[in-house]
Amino acid sequence: MDEKEIVIATDMDAVDSESIVVFSKPYSFEGKTYTEVDLSGLEMLTAEDMIAAGKYMTSKKSVSVAPETSVEYACFMASRATDLPIEFFVHLPMKDAAKIKNHFVNFIYGEE
């Protein structure tokens, strides 16, 4: 079966290009290939999502002084922001997972 390349954000007029994380190489997940992911949904998340992320981290026995700066926390929040399963993010190549984490940390702390 040939995989089709899926581009998450196709209408660049409708999406802030700063919210797009471009992968270093195409990424296959559940039979689809992705070249980027649109994290504009981070704008819609609430403190309730942060609380859920904290509970997720606790359930994984992950302890951190600043959990919001961890890859695991960023993957959870990216999952919430995109409606993609968390497995999509935790199976990303390391370089692209770091891009997701850095984008999330910049989103959280960049506007202070």
Which residues on adjacent β-strands are paired with residue 32?
Answer: 29
Which stretches of the chain score pLDDT less than 50? Answer: 1, 3, 7-14
Residue 112 pLDDT:
52
Residue 37 pLDDT:
97
Residue 11 pLDDT:
43
Residue 18 pLDDT:
87
Query: In terms of residue numbers, what domain contains 9?
Result: 5-109
Q: Based on the structure, what is the number of domains in the chain?
A: 1
Residue 67 pLDDT:
86
Q: How far is CA 57 from CA 60, 62, 79, 102, 108, in A?
A: 5, 5, 14, 18, 18
pTM value?
0.81
Looking at residue 83, the DSSP 8-state letter turns out to be T
